[in-house]
Amino acid sequence: MRLGGTERPGFSPLLGEKRKGVFKCRGCGNDLFSSAEKFESGTGWPSFAAALPGVEESPGFFSFLSGIELRCARCGSHLGHVFEDGKIFKSPRAQETGRRHCIDGSALAFYPEGGSAPVRGDGQASSIELDAAKAVFYNK
């Protein structure tokens, strides 16, 4: 997350996540995406039509080729990239915003509405407690 790498497509268990809730930064617990903005892009990474204020855009020299880099506004973790191709997808919300936030699932933890156990985007079951402890630290 801190080094800006990308996971292989189709790897994250969050691809099929359809419950209501919030996708948070696995590094610090910052709210990043609402489940209401998630849509199926067919790219192999979780995709969202819009981000919450906890996501920061970091345009670079080659942004027109690889999209604008997205980072957590609180801890700086690399999240993925945003592309201006939302209108080509079937999602009404993506068509409305014209954007596709293509996110590395490994940078996320999904917290379902109603208090069910969170789901890590990297498929690991252990150390979610460590992630929560980091979130408490960063929220001070």
Annotated active-site positions, please? Answer: 102
- How far is 115 from 6, CA to CA, in rounded Å? 29
- The residues, ordered by sequence, that sit 6+ positions from 99 with a Cβ below 8 Å of its Cβ are 49, 50, 82, 83, 84, 85, 86
Half-sphere exposure of 104 (CA within 13 A, CB side): 23
8 A C-beta contact, residue 79 and residue 103: yes
